[in-house]
Structure 1
Amino acid sequence: MTLLEATGLTVRYGGVLANTDVTLHVDAGEVVGLIGPNGAGKTTFVDAVTGFTAARGTVTLDRRRLDGLPPHARRRAGLARTWQAGELFGDLTVRQNVAVAAARGPLRNLWSDLTGRAARTGDVDTALEMFGLQFVADRRPGELSLGRQKIVGVARALAGGTRAVLLDEPAAGLDTDESAEFGGHVRAIAAAGPGVLLIDHDMNLVFDVCDRVYVLDYGAVIAAGTPHEVRADPAVRTAYLGAPAEAGAPSEADAGAPQEVPS
C-alpha cells in the first residue's frame, strides 16, 4: 500500500529550480533510497515534503493531503525526519531526547512532560528498545559514540506515532561496521510497519537495505527501480558510481567494493 507520496514537487529559489516535478512514493514497510551528488536537491526535497520550504505539488500520507500544512502539523500526522547535523539536545538525557517527539502538549508544558509523564510513555520505551538504547537511556548524547548518537536521532524520529520517516544522510561519519549496524536498524523500522525514505552517500548501505532507489540529478529524477536496476543503469553508473557505461564492464559496486556518490 502506498503510504507516502510526493507528486510533481517543485521548489524554486528565485531563478533557481532546486527540485523539478519530483514524483516518488514509499509503501508501508518499505525502505526507499534517494541518491545523487551533492547539490542534486535531496535535502531540499526532504524540506519540501516535511513543510520546511515552500513547494508546488502534492504530498500525501496514507491518502491524506499534507501539502500546505506547517511542519508541526505534518509531524503530528505521522511524518517525521532526521537532520544531517543530528540536532540532539545536549543537556537532556537520551530518554528525554526521544520523549521530545512524543510530547503533544503546549510548549510551556514541555519540561514537565520530559521529566514526568511523557518520559515514561510506552511509545518512548518502545523506540528505545527497538534500537537497543534502553541501557543508555539516562546518559547524555555527548557521552555516546557518533554512531550511537545517530541512532538516538532516528529513535526520536520514530517516537510519537510515526507512519513514515525521512532519513537525511544518517550514516555520514560512520565507519563500515557502524554503517552496517545502522542498516540493520533501518530494516527493523520498516519491518515494524513504517515507510522509510533513506538519503545517503554510502552506496553499500543504500543498495543493501533499500527495496527501491530513486536517483536525483539537478533536482529531477533521472532513474528509479530496484537497487540492481539502478546500479546497472548506464547513466547512473557513469555519473555516480564511477563505473564505465560500456556493456559488460563491471562496476566497483558490482564487485562489492565500498562506494560513495562523488561530490
Structure 2
Amino acid sequence: MTDTTISADAELLLQTRGLSVHYGGVTANADIDITVGAGEIVGLIGPNGAGKTTFVDAVTGFAKSSGEVLVSGQRIDRASPHRRRRVGMARTWQAGELFADLTVEQNLAVAVQRVGLRALVTDVLNGSRPAAGVVEKALDVVGLTDVADRRPDELTLGQQKLVGVARALVGDTRLVLLDEPAAGLDTHESLAFGDELRRIAATGVGILLIDHDMSLVLDVCDRLYVLDFGRVIASGTPTEIQDDPAVVAAYLGSAEVEADTHAESANEAGTPPTTESSTTGTDAGDTGGESR
C-alpha cells in the first residue's frame, strides 16, 4: 500500500488513528488511518457496504467507535456531534433534502441556528439571525450568491447539491465530509460540481469525498483511500489507485462501477440509462441501513 500523506506545506486538518466500529460481533470499520490536509480533496471509495458512511458517522460522532479522531491536532473522539461541529468539521448526508418552503439563504441560516435553552429564549424574545456575512460567505464560496432568494424547486439539481455543501460550510467550517454529493447528477452537472469542489478546496477547506462517480473522484481528488469490508485495502494518487490490482478486483471492475460508466455514456449520448445503471445513484449499503 502506498504511504499516503499530505504535502509538507499543508496543514493537517483530519487524522484518524486505528478508527474502528463494531456492531456486536460484526466489524464495520477496522483500524482505519486517514489524513486530510487543508486545501485537499481526498476521496474515500469502495463497494456498497464497505463501511464508508459508517466511517463518516464515526468521525462526526454519530457512531460509537474506538481509536482516535483528531482535528487540527485536537482529539475529539469523545466529543458529542455538536461539539465536533464547533471545531470546524461538518458533513453532508446522502438524504440531504433541503427545506422546500425556505429560500436558499434561509436553508443556510437554519444550519447555524444555535440550540439549547438560552438560544430558545433569545429566539423568542429577540428573534435570531446568523452573524452578518456568515451565510453570504458560504454562498459565495460555492458560487450561489445570485440565487440566495430562490427556493430549492427553482434551482437545478446541481445547484441544489451545492446548497447542501454550502449548508455544511456555513460558519467556521474548515473540514467538510461529503457523502455522495454527486448522486443523481448527469455527466455535465458532475463536471460543473467538480469545478466548484476545486474552488472550495482552493479557499483552504479540506474535503473528504465519498462518491461512486469515478470520473468525478479520479478527476478532482488529490489522494484516494479504498475501503473493502471495512478495511483500507489501498491508498495513493488517482493514477496509483487505477493501476492497483486489488482495487480493480474489489471495486473498479465491479458491476456497480461499470453501471455508473454505462449511465454516464448514456447521458453523453442523450439516451436513457438501463435499469441496472439507475440503481447506482445511491449507495444503498451506505445509508442508514448500511451493511455493517
Report the equivalent of 1:180: 191
**1:25 Cα deviation after fit:** 0.4
Q: Secondary structure at 2:59's aligned position in 1?
A: helix
> Once the two structures are superposed, what CA deviation does each residue of 1:173-216 show, in whole Å capped at 9, x if it has no partner?
00001111111111111110111000000001001000000000
Tell me how far apart the structure 2 counterparts of residues 111 and 41 of structure 1 sit (CA, whole Å).
39
Matched to 1:56, the amino acid is S
Tell me how far apart the structure 1 counterparts of residues 139 and 197 of structure 2 sit (CA, whole Å).
14
Structure-to-structure mapping, 1:196-235, within 5 angstroms? 196-235=207-246
> Once the two structures are superposed, what CA deviation does each residue of 1:142-194 show, in whole Å capped at 9, x if it has no partner?
33222211110000101110010000000000000111111111111111011
Matched to 1:88, the amino acid is L
**1:105 Cα deviation after fit:** 5.8
CA spacing shift, 1:110–1:94, aligned 2, 3 Å:
farther
Q: Secondary structure at 1:83's aligned position in 2?
A: coil
Report the equivalent of 2:40: 30
The partner residue of 1:134 within 136, 142, 145 is 145
Question: Does the CA-based 8 Å contact 1:86-1:149 persist in structure 2?
Answer: no
Structure-to-structure mapping, 1:47-62, within 5 angstroms? 47-62=57-72
Tell me how far apart the structure 2 counterparts of residues 59 and 143 of structure 1 sit (CA, whole Å).
39
Tell me how far apart the structure 2 counterparts of residues 175 and 87 of structure 1 sit (CA, whole Å).
19
Correspondence 1:85 to 2:95: yes
Tell me how far apart the structure 2 counterparts of residues 188 and 54 of structure 1 sit (CA, whole Å).
33
Report the equivalent of 1:45: 55
CA spacing shift, 1:149–1:62, aligned 2, 3 Å:
same
Question: Does the CA-based 8 Å contact 2:191-2:216 persist in structure 1?
Answer: yes
Q: Secondary structure at 2:17's aligned position in 1?
A: strand
> Once the two structures are superposed, what CA deviation does each residue of 1:3-32 show, in whole Å capped at 9, x if it has no partner?
101111100111111101111000111110
TM-score, structure 1 length as denominator?
Answer: 0.88
Report the equivalent of 1:247: none
CA spacing shift, 1:37–1:144, aligned 2, 3 Å:
same
Matched to 1:143, the amino acid is E
**1:100 Cα deviation after fit:** 2.4
Tell me how far apart the structure 2 counterparts of residues 116 and 216 of structure 1 sit (CA, whole Å).
42
Tell me how far apart the structure 1 counterparts of residues 112 and 141 of structure 2 sit (CA, whole Å).
16
Gap regions ≥5 residues in structure 2: 1-10, 266-276, 284-292
Tell me how far apart the structure 2 counterparts of residues 109 and 170 of structure 1 sit (CA, whole Å).
35
Report the equivalent of 2:4: none
Tell me how far apart the structure 2 counterparts of residues 180 and 111 of structure 1 sit (CA, whole Å).
41
Q: Secondary structure at 2:240's aligned position in 1?
A: helix
Q: Secondary structure at 1:240's aligned position in 2?
A: helix
Correspondence 1:168 to 2:179: yes
Question: Does the CA-based 8 Å contact 2:158-2:185 persist in structure 1?
Answer: yes
Identity %: 62
Correspondence 1:117 to 2:129: yes
CA spacing shift, 1:140–1:111, aligned 2, 3 Å:
farther
Matched to 2:177, the amino acid is L
Gap regions ≥5 residues in structure 1: 244-251
Tell me how far apart the structure 2 counterparts of residues 27 and 41 of structure 1 sit (CA, whole Å).
22
Tell me how far apart the structure 1 counterparts of residues 134 and 56 of structure 2 sit (CA, whole Å).
25
Matched to 1:220, the amino acid is R
Tell me how far apart the structure 2 counterparts of residues 110 and 235 of structure 1 sit (CA, whole Å).
56
The partner residue of 1:154 within 165, 168, 181 is 165
**1:258 Cα deviation after fit:** 5.4
**1:52 Cα deviation after fit:** 0.4
